[in-house]
Amino acid sequence: MNFENLQLAVEELPRAEALEFTGIHKEYKSVKMVSNLLFALVLLIGGICTLVFSGELFSIRWWLVALTVPVAYFLVVLFFIHKSFIYKGYVIRERDIAFRSGWIFRSVTTVPFNRVQHCEIVQGPVEKSFDLCRIQIYTAGGSDSELMIPGLLYAEGEQIREHLLTKIAANAIQ
Amino acid sequence: MQSSKNPVTAPTRQSMIALVFIISTFLRRIVLRAWPFLIIALKPNSEGRYIGLLVILGGIALISLAAGLVNYFRFRFWLTDDNLNVEQGLVRKSVVSIPFDRIQSINTEQNLLFRVFDIVRIEVDTAGSKGSEVTIHAIDKELASQLHDFVMENKKAVKETADNEDEVPESDVSWRTILHLDLCQLVKTGLAQNHLRAILVIGAFLLARIQDVSELMGDKVIDRIDELSNSDWFSDMLAVSVLVVFGILVSVLVSLITVITRFYNFRLSESVKGMKTESGLFTRRQQNISFKRTQIFQYTAGPVRKLLGIYNVKVFQAAADPSSKGAVQIPGCPDDQVAEIKSRFFEGRTPVTELPYRISRVYVFRRWLLGGLLRGSLAAIVCICLKEWYLLPLIGAYMLYDLVKHALFYHYYRFGFSDDLLTIRSGFWILKYRTVQWYKIQSVEVAQGIYQRQKEYADLVFYTAGGSVTIPFIELGKARLLQNYVLYKVESSGEKWM
């Protein structure tokens, strides 16, 4: 068989790229911001503690370093969060689920329902305060091939999981 | 259909020989962790006696003995109608029950000591279910084979009631040897290993040694050596060539020894459902390959191997850790037999007859740009800043090597497919052929960097339960076509991937 032959048949196949990806919720940006802000604070406090204990308390130069590093970190992360958020999105089709992500390096990963091992809803403390959750979909293909869709409303997450579970069950019966 | 009786109804301990093994394992583990203390204690006291060392060694021995004994006496295993149960735990007792259905294979291993007592070590492999791998360190060979038969038979019984597959019962399976490597073939295989890597390792080691020496004796000595060697260009070259020859010799010797000890008396046999390999000089090892569980079939050949007409076959099976555990190696497989073995794995599937498709030529420059060129330029800038001129030609050589490497990769990369299979040839020095069945793919990824987005190229990655295969830099249209095709293949297939 050659490629051209296949192409004719393939043209009629359902296309993954023609689909509309559903964006994730805007609050996800806030979640990322808060958790990175916490990390920047830890950096800041750590830096100040080092200053205090190393006796460099009155060195302006070191104070500058201790202040700029966390702030710069936070600003860079903010930029990345904003840029990568735009592209994140998911599609649920009749027989598979796809998620796209990335900013500089973008990728679309698709997992057929009949290859899903199990799925779970994860909700961290920050996500909880925004009523968001992420859904983790496991396959047997190792950690690289697994799907994680963040920034879903908890109700949405549960809906998707319900849907996935019925699909998995249907496949098991077949 | 139950033909064999449950051999282990009551909780049973391992054979006493296991004690030796367990204690020595503990000993090794503790010594490995505590060796810095041992070195510190390696100081005689005022009377010239090594009391500290003795105390520590005694302590380690005592702890290992105690831990080994507890471990041995708390480890018990037994079989119920459809579970293998293992009770263990040093402090907290835990019982793991593994349904026979989840057991993929039972591999056995027998080292020299075990052979004297006719005892084997068994590893129960449950693919994909993390944390439930079980090893029984030592049980009678007879009992082991009874256990194996019982598990496999009852597994079938469970299966038959479930989906009525008419498969051959385990006891009726007859094994036929299809490949046996004698010493001569093993020597050939050992010679054909990749010695370049070994030479590099030895070179790195020697360089590190020189570093150590300079640290120990100060730079003066090194300066003297430098002066001496600079004055005599000829002796320098001589030293280098001696080193290279020495490196090749050591490498050949080491790989010969490892190949022979590991694959001595290698035997590959086949039944209806799969294959098994047996090999080893001191430690006899038996590994099972099931056709169903196989995810990727791979064979490789470097230039030397090609010349000798032997291939290195590797079969990647579904495993909890796709990188290592499930892979079974068939070393030194004669080229006419590779095709035969391969056809056994993909029986009834449309074979891939040719590999007509290539990746884009852009690959060479792009990979070089982000790899060798970038790294080389950075290194060159550092060198120029430090005025270390003599390193520049080396960096130039590295950059050239990287370019040639990517050019060769592009030159050799081919892929082709049929209704059932995908075959990819990759590599730049040692060519690697990998074959995957479409329906065993778990998920698909289409990935693009900035440049790839502009020029409409993409990398395509297929994940299976035994590792992944990548097609880099193909046209986006083709990548999507293949992606849709694979998804269609997987989603329309009712076959179990394992």
pLDDT for the residue B332: 84
> Closest approach of chain A CAs to the CA of B54, in angstroms?
42
pLDDT for the residue B199: 67
Confidence of residue B114 (pLDDT cuts 50, 70, 90): confident
pLDDT for the residue A131: 92
Higher pLDDT, B9 or B132: B9
pLDDT for the residue B43: 65
Query: Is the CB of B443 less than 8 angstroms away from the CB of A95?
Result: no
Query: B472 to chain A: which residues are within 8 Å by CB?
Result: none
pTM of the model: 0.76
Region B171-181: mean pLDDT is 79
Whether B379 has a pLDDT exceeding 50, the answer reads yes
B414 neighbors B422 (Cβ within 8 angstroms): no
Confidence of residue B25 (pLDDT cuts 50, 70, 90): confident
Task: Tell me what percent of the residues of chain B surpass a pLDDT of 90.
Answer: 23
pLDDT for the residue B64: 85
B77 neighbors B86 (Cβ within 8 angstroms): yes
Region B359-383: mean pLDDT is 91
CA within 13 Å, CB half, A134? 19
pLDDT for the residue B200: 67
> Closest approach of chain A CAs to the CA of B107, in angstroms?
22
Chain B residues within 8 Å of chain A (Cβ atoms): 128, 318, 322, 350, 356-357, 417-419, 441-450, 453, 461, 463-465, 467-468, 478, 480-481, 483-485, 487-488, 490-491, 493-494, 497-498
pLDDT per residue over A26-48, tens digit each?
A: 999 999 999 999 999 999 999 88
Whether B164 has a pLDDT exceeding 70, the answer reads no
* Range with top average pLDDT, A160-174, B224-238, B250-264: B250-264
> Closest approach of chain A CAs to the CA of B61, in angstroms?
40
Query: Is the CB of B465 less than 8 angstroms away from the CB of A142?
Result: yes
pLDDT for the residue B201: 65
Rounded mean pLDDT of chain B?
Answer: 81
pLDDT for the residue B1: 44
> Closest approach of chain A CAs to the CA of B127, in angstroms?
9
pLDDT per residue over B215-241, tens digit each?
A: 555 555 556 555 555 555 666 677 777
pLDDT per residue over B264-305, tens digit each?
A: 889 999 888 788 888 888 888 888 888 888 899 999 988 888
Query: B448 to chain A: which residues are within 8 Å by CB?
Result: 105-107
Whether B45 has a pLDDT exceeding 70, the answer reads no
Query: A105 to chain B: which residues are within 8 Å by CB?
Result: 447-449
